[in-house]
Structure 1
Amino acid sequence: MATTPSWLDDAFKSAMEDFKKSLKNPSLYDFSKINSPDDVMREAAKIENEQRKTKTLRGLRRIEPLINGLKEYAAVIEVFVQAQPEIMSLIWGPLKFILQASSAVITAFDKVVKVIADLGTTLPSFKIYAQLFESNHYIRRALCLFYADILDFYAVLLNFLVNRRLNVFIESLWPNIRSSIANIQENMEHHKAIMTANVTLEEIIRAEKARKSTLEEYAHSQAFRESQTFSVIRNELNPHNYDTELADILRRSSVTSGDWLDHETNYKKWRDPTDHDVRCLWLHGIPGSGKTFLAGNLIQGMQHFNQRVLFVFLSHDDQSAGDTIKVLHSLIFQLLEYDVTFRPTLLKASESNYRKLKSDCSFVLDLLCTILNNTGASYLILDGLDELNEVSWKHLLSNALQIIEKCQETKLLISSREEREISLRLESKSIPLRVNSKNHQDIHSFVHLECEDIIDEKKRSRADEEICTRIREAIDMIAENSEGKHQGTLSDIESQMKNLPDGLDQAYGRLLDRIKIELPQGLRNVVRTILQWIACAQRPLREEEILQLLALEPGKPDFTKGPKEYRDIFQVCGPVIETRGDHVRFVHFSAKE
């Protein structure tokens, strides 16, 4: 038996390592016990018998050219390379797994058998070159090129067949698979030419590098084309990305909300992907109880643990964004950011049914469910359902519930106020968790952060430690009454402690009473105008636009005081309004109500 140069042995080992690294889920396979073509033929015979029973016989003789070609190849490397069992097992093992996996789906099996037959005609007759291998050590290196080509072919098919719902995705994924295999066949043709030429070792090494470069360039160009088409579709559909809203919520959240959830049995079941008893949670509570901050912190925590979470923050200021089809578009694109493998499914849907993809809610829902059913455990969070108008939230909720009915590994969390209509639709389909009966610690933490700000201010005014202690004791009462920031003297704080508002109506009422009492008539009119415009505008207004509106007087043909007024609208309106992004909004949509 010929002696194997160390560089040749290293080349085969390198090809094996590259193959194993290229597999999406290598733990699924054990090729070590499959060392001969007999193992493959027994599997083929078994598949034929099963197909004969179900009357789906597919003509497995088409794979014989590849089997015969691999037999010749195996015989050659046994002589000239002193092949180890692991090298031989990768010639036959993957092929058996490919036949086994593809036989479960007839359409996939037909396509796989056809490309196997094609590859069989591409392989050279290795026994013809046996004398050449014997006389030229360097030409033996070409054997490793074919070994790498064969493993490239196996890797493409194994990674394709690992999809759990192959019958659903085959038509959208197969064109790329077939194109990748064609690229591998081109490499094989080039490597056949190398064997018949009087090449040096350096030229063969260059061919190895060219093979890798060709595959990498093809993968890069294919990914680039898909990315370009994906971007075009995204620009046309313009799905809303809620990352900005999430970042804003987390920025404005003074404390990490929701630690109490970790002690809730039903929440722990919902969070556990292996538990299927609790699949829909409903977080509800009074306005201002921190539901949105809770949802934001929950999403951040799930992202930290690499859980697939899709989320939507709904707002009364942007009713159009709550349209069901826009929400579904957002969820699809969020999902495809997690796993680009299924982007061809979207591309195919766009090519064949663009109008439905753009406007047919049922079509888009089915597409989302198709992808979800192949991606494993996923979580969907809808915050602020009650902020939509009744028609919109009912339609959106109906579709969200359909998602968890059709997708058994998807779970849903809805956050809203406890409105009767929502309650009626969710009472038999969700587990309710009332936020404002559980969030005492969150409020306590928030109030104490605010307390330290007040104390720092008093210390700058030379308050001694006794006064600071009395302030802390007084502010401790705030947490019990679920209120926030109070400023003034110690007497002011203690006075406010005894007279906290009872509910949001009283809280907003006091703010408006303060405006009526403390502001002169002219400023009261300004405040009334500002609040009316914010409440009634069809879209959120920028501060610049509000200042221009203040310069208008009904009945006048033009600006009466200049193009805009110059004043601090936040100072005159108090804490009823705030800025989010570039827009002026009510501090909470309950203020508008």
Structure 2
Amino acid sequence: MPDCSAMSAQSDLSAFHTALKQFKDGLDHAEKEAFRLVELDDLLKEINDLQARLVRQRRGKNLARLRPFLEAIDQLGKVVEVFGNSSEFVAFVWGPMKFLLHVSISWSDAFHDLVDMYEKIGESLPQLLQTERLFHEDTAMRRVLALMYKDILEFHRLAMRYFKQPMLKQLFQATWKTYKTRFDLLISNIHDHGMLVQNQATLAQIEEFRRERLADCQQYEAQRLREMYTWLRSPNHDQASNAENDQYEYARVRKYCPSSGRWVLSKQAFNEWMDPAYPPIPPLLWINGVPGAGKSVLTSLIVEQVRLLSPAPTLLFFYCKGRDNSRDDFVSIARSFLSELLRCHQDILSPFFYDKFSKSNEAVLSKLQDIEELLRVSLLNCAKVYIVIDGIDECRRDERKRITSWFRDVVENLEPPNLDRVRCLFVSQDDGVARKDFDGITTLKIKPADVKDDIEQYSLHAAAQIQLKFQLSDDMTADMAFKMREAADGMILVVQLMASNLEHQTTVEEIEDELQDEMLPEQLSHVYDRIMVRLFERASNREKEASRIIFRWLLYAKRPLRWHEIQAAQAINLDEQSVEWERRRFRVEPKDLCGSLVTLSSDGRVDFVHSTARSYLARSKHIDLSSGELALANLCVDYLNMPGFHQGIPNLTSLVSGGHYGFMDYAVAHWVRHVEEAALAANEEDAMVKDLAESLMILLDIHFMMPTKQLYVSQSNKKRLQVFERLPRFHDLKQAVVWTHKELNSFGETREPERALDLVCVVNNIRSELEQALNDARNGPAEEAERLEAIYGPKPFKCDRLSCRYFYDGFTTAQQRQQHHDKHKLPFRCVVVGCPRASFGMASSVELEKHLKDTHGHPGNGDFPDLDEPSDQESATKPKRRKRPTATPKAKRPRISEWVCYVCSKVFRKKFNLESHMATHTDERQFRCGVCDLAFARASDRNRHEKTHEAREFVCGGELPDGQTWGCGQKFARADTLRNHHRTKAGQGCVRAAPLGGS
């Protein structure tokens, strides 16, 4: 009969082998060979040498404190020796310990901390020889022994990984204090395991103990990671990024033609760049081609090829997207790369990132200096990095230069022996700007001959799909594939668009017509022409108008629109002052209305299929663009003037349920940019401009807050609004516009004396009701929750800062939003890990410094950015004058052009503006003055009235240096009224008296 105790002992010994194997897997060959031969005597000699060195340098450290650890490990070896050869087990403790002591002595703090940790571990380990009998008799005790050994190896693994970093010199001060806290859990585990040995715990108790410890640790790390990913404006580590979603979409195109793009694998320039061992120096490559040549699809293949390399390098890739402020500049690329670097190297980089995060007062990382430092250090700390950036030509000129120059600088300034540590591949169109940016680096141009086989394969595949649908003959199918191939001229996009156009025909005869020689496209724009003909020739007038509306919105939108936002905008009925979601929204998909010119992404974004499609429509005769900006400006302002946005909305619950607020996030954030760009190209005699001017006055009547502090209005701001300068409240309009710009560009707190509009307050009230409605729906039937998410999107919990991306992107839960919001409100966080204030933060740097001094006994570094520092993207938000093709607007049917108030005879150009105005005459006056109890129909009227009770601080006059006074002494409630006084004849006399009195 087999010896059960011997079998059990061998089984437990295998746990030691498993732990050692896992540790060895993280070592290189030289380390394995060196550690395998280290004995206790070798380690003791190293310790004696270090002690002598410390004495010579007068850095006295008592290394005798290491004795408890050395004795405990020596005893562990002797206990394990009973079950098998233990020499290798202890050698891989002595070897790493010798390495760590030798390396860390260059860092006084780290060396001291390591000695302390070894001392604590030694004191935590039980006297193993005294309890040797337990390990022979009790399986649970042998299990505990294996766990202690595994923890010691894990301690060494973490420590070695830290001290082997290439950029340790730059990282040490910022990361060691945070990183060393990772050892606390291991030391605590070892201590508790020792207690388990002393108390002779059962195996079940041991497993339960380890599960609880592991769960606590994972929960803490997950919380920190969520905070950092939000700071980086990135999805959590377990969610797909924009880059990954793009990669999936482009790789899916290759699914039908698996060999697509593989021609690049035979190109010498590409193979040299890819070569892990011998790349060109500097390892830079620029791949370029004409629009539609399949560059992004090719990029997706390159990404996959890099992922196949062994050993696997760090891979960073990004697909730029024009007019999408989350994908068209250096900051967006850097944030994406930082998120991926954190995901790939969490153990090493998490302390560095968290140190920066804790000291930052930004809810979203935006300070360019911090971004560049984080990215540069993180890149250079990797063993090997491959960077691939596609579509740089879609970014603005200044951003193109910043992206290329920054990454070139990193690669070109690498030092021996790491000249290939970072390599970068750029993909873009070949234009004059690109030639300057990529001057001097290896170039690979995509030629028609390169993509010939790809085009042929795709043509055959597309023709086969069309044959299947229409039951075409083999000859006709072959002819179709041939003609698509011949028309391509090196552009795969041409074949894709032609195939889509043919597939959407309705009869074989129509396909034959499209394949006539005279109908075949000679260039890309001709393909777009054929698609537009198909869309517009067969569509009803209503369908054509719907297509034009979507195209105009996509062309002029200030950020990518989601489908639910387009649906919400379509549902607005300005004449009835309502949003009729069920009656007015589109009942067809965007591709049904816009064909293959647009795409609908997995996150709901609707965008053009290619940048060339946008360019084509911008100059197309099919779309009247002469008033596109004005139309969107009018829509946003008129929408915000609707009763659903007035203070004290009585039927808010039903409005939320009915879909009234699906377009709110866009309109509140972007009405100013539409107004300014429309005003730049506007003629004040234009009927739509008059409509907009009237609507702006209504907006001020409803939402203006009468700020007590006036903001400075620059000459450029005045010039942009010049078309409205004759409006009676032009001064208030300028304040509203400047304040909104300030809110869009600053991550600081709103200063109440400057608040010009109540829109953000109104939005917050509406969102509270919306969140409650969604929470209620999620606890009820699934249909209602799905309906509300279809109207408002899947992430309804949104930030209240206009400048923050999460103002419109939002979060899935209120808890996620609160964690993000706390960073806005309490941005100054304690850097001591484990302190509650590391999670909750404080309102000011003064509070933080006091906390550090009072609680932790040391001051902070005080190095915090200015809370009110504008975003680095501020320049991107400034409107630029857009050149538009001139087009004669189509004649419109006659309509009522004037609406007269029957009470005061005031004339309005829009019926709904009259209805908003009528609130001033109603008997319902729910807004009462807090001083005299006088009631008003609107909050803005009440606020304006309350100012009359305050001391009048704008006085005509003052005291001169010689003691004389000037001015008439008349007091005014507002600065602009005082300025108007000075323009009068009497007031000019007051002003003239000032210099005379001082002479």
> TM above 0.5, one fold?
yes
TM class, shorter-length: 0.7 to 0.9
1:464-483 mapped onto 2 (5 Å cutoff): 465-471=474-480, 474-475=483-484, 477-478=486-487, 482=491, 483=494
1:495 to 507, 516, 537: 516
C-alpha contact 1:99 1:109 (8 A) present in aligned 2: no
Matched residue, 2:939 = none
Distance 1:264 1:378 in 2: 21
Kindly provide the CA deviation profile for residues 309-355 of structure 1, in whole angstroms up to 9, marking residues without a partner as x. Answer: 22222212412443433332222222233343233432333223353
Residue 116 (structure 1) aligned to one of 115, 118, 129: 118
Decide which of 224, 233, 244 is 1:229's aligned counterpart.
224
Deviations 1:520-572 (A, max 9, x none): 9987776555433321122334567657767889x968699984677887566
Aligned counterparts of 1:424 and 1:11: Cα–Cα separation in 2? 66
State yes or no: 1:453 paired with 2:429: no
The residue correspondences of 1:119-198 to structure 2 (distance < 5 A) are 119-123=121-125, 129=130, 138=137, 145=144, 149-150=148-149, 152-163=151-162, 164-165=164-165, 168=171, 169-191=175-197, 193-194=198-199
After superposition, the Cα gap between the structure-2 partners of 1:210 and 1:161, relative to the gap in structure 1 and judged at 3 Å, is farther
CA distance in 2 between counterparts of 1:439 and 1:382 reads 21
CA gap of 1:9–1:413, structure 2 versus 1, over 3 A, is same
Q: 1:314 aligns with which of 310, 320, 338?
A: 320
| 1:221–1:399 CA distance, 2 compared to 1 (3 A) | farther
> How far apart, CA to CA, are the structure 2 residues paired with 1:69 and 1:545?
67
In 2, Cα distance between equivalents of 1:186 and 1:369: 41
User: 1:336 and 1:140, CA in 2 relative to 1: closer, same or farther beyond 3 A?
Assistant: closer
Q: Is the 8 A contact 2:196 2:206 kept in 1?
A: no
1:458-511 CA-to-partner distances (Å, cap 9, x unmatched) read 5x26x4x55555555555534556442364658646633x66444334544565
From 562, 587, 591, the counterpart of 2:609:
587
Alpha-carbon distance between aligned partners in 2 of 1:380 and 1:48, rounded to the nearest angstrom: 45
8 Å Cα contact 2:599-2:607 kept in structure 1: yes
Secondary structure at 1:218 match in 2: helix
Going from structure 1 to structure 2, the CA distance change for 1:55 and 1:405 (only over 3 Å counts) comes to farther
Structure 2: how far apart are the matches of 1:542 and 1:151? Answer: 51
The question of whether the paired residues in 1 share the 8 Å contact of 2:287 and 2:425 is answered with: yes
Q: Who is 2:442 aligned against?
A: 431
1:297 paired with 2:319, answer no
**Aligned residue in 2 for 1:376:** 383
The whole-number CA distance in structure 2 between the counterparts of 1:469 and 1:338 is: 48
Match of 2:114, as an amino acid? Answer: V
What is the match of residue 273 of structure 2?
270
Mean CA deviation greater in 329-338 or 246-255: 246-255
Return the offset for 1:176.
Answer: 1.0
Contact residue 34 and residue 89 of structure 1 kept, 8 A? no
- Post-superposition CA distance 1:74-109 (Å, at most 9, x none): 6x649xx6475x314433541233122342233333
The amino acid of 1:588's aligned partner reads H
State yes or no: 1:101 paired with 2:105.
no
Stretch deviating more after TM superposition (143-152 or 56-65): 143-152
| Cα separation, partners in 2 of 1:576 and 1:434, compared to 1, 3 Å | same
How far residue 239 of structure 1 moved from its aligned partner, in angstroms, is 1.5
1:479-558 matches, cutoff 5 A:
482=491, 483-484=494-495, 485=498, 487=502, 492=513, 495-496=516-517, 500-508=520-528, 528-541=548-561
> Do the aligned partners of 2:38 and 2:94 also contact (CA within 8 Å) in 1?
no
Please give the secondary structure, in 1, of the residue aligned with 2:181: helix
In 1, are the aligned partners of 2:460 and 2:478 still within 8 Å (CA)?
no
Question: How far did 1:432 drift?
Answer: 2.0
Q: The residue matched to 2:423 in structure 1 has which SS?
A: strand
Alpha-carbon distance change, 88 to 387 in structure 1, aligned in 2, over 3 angstroms: same
Change (3 A) 1:367 1:354: farther
Question: Normalization by structure 1: what TM-score?
Answer: 0.80
TM-superposed deviation, 1:424? 0.9
Q: Tell whether 2:243 aligns with 1:249.
A: no
Q: Distance in 2 between matches of 1:13 and 1:332?
A: 42
Name the aligned partner's letter for residue 171 of structure 1: K
Inter-CA distance 186–314: structure 2 relative to 1 (3 Å threshold): same
1:322 aligned counterpart, secondary structure: coil
Q: How much does 1:174 deviate?
A: 1.0
Question: Displacement of 1:175 after TM fit?
Answer: 0.5
Tell which deviates more after alignment, 299-308 or 323-332.
299-308
> 1:427 aligns to what SS in structure 2?
coil
CA distance in 2, matches of 1:126, 1:567: 75
1:64 pairs with 52, 62, 67, which one?
67
CA contact under 8 A between 2:16 and 2:149: conserved in structure 1? no
CA 238–543 in structure 1, closer or farther in 2 if over 3 Å, else same: closer
Give the deviation of 1:228 after TM superposition. Answer: 1.8
Q: TM-score, normalised by structure 2?
A: 0.50
Instruction: Kindly provide the amino acid, as one letter, of the partner of residue 516 in structure 2.
Output: S
Q: 8 Å contact 1:501–1:507 — kept in the other structure? A: yes
Normalized per residue, the structure richer in helix is 1
- Provide the rounded CA distance (Å) in 2 between the counterparts of 1:77 and 1:522: 86
Return the letter of the residue paired with 1:266.
Answer: A
Instruction: Give me the whole-angstrom Cα distance separating, in 1, the residues matched to 2:560 and 2:70.
Output: 68
With over 3 angstroms needed to count, the CA separation of the structure-2 counterparts of 1:524 and 1:283, relative to structure 1, is same
Q: SS where residue 426 of structure 2 aligns? A: strand
Identity of aligned residues (%): 17
| 1:69/1:123 contact within 8 Å kept | yes
Cα distance in 2 for partners of 1:391, 1:506 equals 32
- Give the SS at the match of 1:162: helix
Which letter maps to 2:66?
A: I
CA distance in 2, matches of 1:136, 1:590: 74
Q: Distance in 2 between matches of 1:123 and 1:565?
A: 71
Paired AA for residue 430 in structure 2: E
SS in 2 for 1:585: strand
Asked whether the equivalents of residues 20 and 153 of structure 2 are also in contact (C-alpha less than 8 Å), the reply is no
1:40 deviation in Å? 1.7
Asked if the contact 1:284/1:415 (under 8 Å) is kept, the reply is yes
Q: Distance in 2 between matches of 1:583 and 1:135?
A: 65
Whether the 8 Å CA contact 2:264–2:270 is kept in 1: the answer is yes
Give yes or no for contact 1:365–1:403 (8 Å, CA) kept in 2.
no
**How big is the alpha-carbon RMSD for the aligned residues of Structure 1 and Structure 2?**
4.2
How many pairs were matched up?
566
Separation (CA, whole Å) in 2 of partners of 1:248 and 1:69: 57
Tell me the CA shift for residue 156 of structure 1. 1.4
2:134–2:141 Cα contact (<8 Å) kept: no
Aligned 8 A contact 1:285 1:418 in 2:
yes
- AA in 1 matched with 2:297: F
CA contact (8 A) 2:487 2:521 kept: no
* 1:25-64 deviation digits (Å, cap 9, x = unpaired): 15543454344x3222123234456667877675433323
Structure having greater relative contact order (Cα 8 Å, sep ≥ 6): 1
Letter in 2 for 1:40: L
Deviates more, 1:234-243 or 1:557-566: 557-566
**For residues 108-163 of structure 1, what are the alpha-carbon distances to aligned partners after superposition, in whole Å with 9 as ceiling and x for unaligned?**
33322222223334445567x4xx86899648996885575355324312342134
1:363 matched to which residue of 2?
370
CA distance in 2 between partners of 1:571 and 1:69 (Å): 74
Structure 2 residue 407 is the aligned partner of structure 1 residue 396: no
Secondary structure in 1 aligned to 2:462? Answer: helix
Contact (CA 8 Å) 1:119, 1:185: kept in 2 or not?
A: yes
| Residue type at the aligned position of 1:330 | S
Gaps of at least 5 residues in structure 1 are 195-203
> Unmatched 5+ residue regions in structure 2?
236-240, 415-419, 503-507, 616-999
Cα deviation, residue 225, structure 1: 1.0
How far residue 260 of structure 1 moved from its aligned partner, in angstroms, is: 0.8
